[in-house]
């Protein structure tokens, strides 16, 4: 009985051992195949790396060669420029005085421009002071009847004709003497100032006596104002210019009564004195 069992166990053990060995062998074989595949992949990657390395090396070598060539070219350019500078040194020496004068002129012009800007600012300040003096002297007259302003560096005094003349006339009213006396007081305090008296009309046609049109009327009104300033208030006639502008420089539309009233005016223009202006440019 024991012998039978023994005989049965021995063959079973051999079969079991045989099965286990086959599984391990197959597993080992699979593992080997996997490793072999990995090895092949690594070899392929190694070859790719070697190829890329060779390509990169070739690329770097080409770049290095190009940079060396550029450096040599720059050296050549530098040498050429140095030679040109040496040649130019002869021209620079011969023209040094001319260049210096040119630079001096540029500096002088820059200084002149700065002085000019400063003079303009001072002139504007003087004009504003004149305007304030005129407004202070005239007092509380209606702004619609008299207007004092500065435009483009010039002082203008506009006086409505209803303060100065009767309708359609160039005869001075009593109130005109009062207004002109206040203006004359300021002008007499500035004896170097010259000015122009301009007569302006509306566009309505005018003809009366010896006067043929608005040109005549505007001129007669300007000369009438000039005589008052000269004869009653002692302003030197050499400082005064009388001018008629007729209807051709309106400040409002002639289509309305209000516009025509605004256009009928006498304008006193404070003339810019160029010699006085350039005196402002002199170094203090």
Write out pLDDT tens, residues 172-220. 988 888 889 988 988 888 888 899 999 999 999 988 888 999 999 999 9
Question: How confident is the model at residue 231, as a pLDDT?
Answer: 95
Question: How confident is the model at residue 3, as a pLDDT?
Answer: 47
Q: Are residues 59 and 134 in the same domain?
A: no
Question: How confident is the model at residue 220, as a pLDDT?
Answer: 96
Helix boundaries (H) for the chain: 2-138, 161-164, 174-188, 214-231, 257-263, 274-279
C-alpha distances out from residue 66 to 61, 62, 72, 78, 144, Å = 9, 6, 10, 18, 84
Is position 272 within any domain? Answer: yes
Coil, helix or strand at residue 202: coil
Distance in angstroms (rounded) separating the CA atoms of residues 262 and 147: 11
Strand-pair partners of 146: 159
Q: Are residues 255 and 134 in the same domain?
A: yes
Q: Copy the structure tokens of residue 46.
A: 């190694």
Q: Are residues 256 and 148 in the same domain?
A: yes
- CATH value at residue 227: 3.30.1330.60
Tally Cβ neighbours within 10 Å of residue 25. 10
Is position 271 within any domain? Answer: yes
Domain range for 205 is 119-279
Q: Are residues 42 and 134 in the same domain?
A: no
- The domain total for the chain is 2
Domain stop point among 46, 70, 89: 89
Question: How confident is the model at residue 222, as a pLDDT?
Answer: 97
Is position 104 within any domain? Answer: no
Q: Are residues 131 and 67 in the same domain?
A: no
> What is the value of pTM for the model shown?
0.54
Question: How confident is the model at residue 25, as a pLDDT?
Answer: 60
Q: Are residues 59 and 136 in the same domain?
A: no
Distance in angstroms (rounded) separating the CA atoms of residues 60 and 39: 30
Strands 194-200, 240-244: pairing is parallel
Distance in angstroms (rounded) separating the CA atoms of residues 163 and 106: 54
Question: How confident is the model at residue 77, as a pLDDT?
Answer: 65
Phi-psi region of 110 (alpha: psi -120 to 50; beta: other; left: phi over 0): alpha
Residues in the chain predicted with pLDDT less than 50, given as ranges, are: 2-10, 12-17, 20, 89, 91, 277, 280, 284
First to last CA, the chain: 147
Residue 139 carries which DSSP code? -
Is position 5 within any domain? Answer: yes
């Amino acid at each position: 009985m024991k012998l039978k069992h023994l005989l049965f166990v021995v063959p079973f053990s051999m079969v079991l051992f045989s099965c286990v060995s086959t599984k391990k062998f197959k597993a080992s074989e699979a593992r080997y195949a996997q490793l072999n595949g990995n090895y092949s992949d690594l070899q392929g990657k190694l070859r790719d790396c070697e190829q890329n390395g060779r390509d990169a090396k070739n690329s770097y070598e080409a770049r290095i060669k190009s940079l060396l060539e550029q450096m040599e070219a720059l050296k050549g350019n530098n040498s050429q420029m140095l030679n040109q500078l040496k040649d130019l040194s002869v021209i620079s020496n011969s023209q040094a005085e001319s260049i210096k004068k040119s630079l001096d002129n540029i500096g002088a012009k820059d200084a002149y421009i700065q002085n000019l800007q400063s003079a303009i600012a001072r002139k504007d300040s003087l004009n504003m002071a004149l305007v304030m003096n005129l407004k202070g002297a005239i007092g509380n007259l209606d702004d619609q009847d008299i207007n004092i302003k500065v435009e483009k560096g010039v002082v203008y005094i506009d006086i409505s004709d209803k303060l100065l003349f009767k309708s359609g006339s160039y005869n001075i009213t009593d109130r005109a003497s009062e207004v002109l006396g206040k203006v004359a007081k300021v002008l007499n305090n500035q004896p170097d100032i010259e000015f122009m008296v301009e007569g302006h009309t509306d566009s309505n046609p005018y003809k009366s006596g010896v006067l043929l049109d608005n040109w005549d009327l505007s001129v007669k009104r300007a000369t009438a104002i000039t005589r008052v300033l000269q004869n009653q208030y002692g302003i030197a006639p050499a400082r005064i210019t009388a001018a008629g502008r007729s209807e051709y420089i309106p400040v409002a539309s002639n289509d309305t009564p209000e516009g025509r009233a605004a256009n009928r005016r006498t304008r006193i223009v404070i003339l810019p004195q160029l010699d006085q202006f350039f005196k402002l440019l002199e170094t203090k």
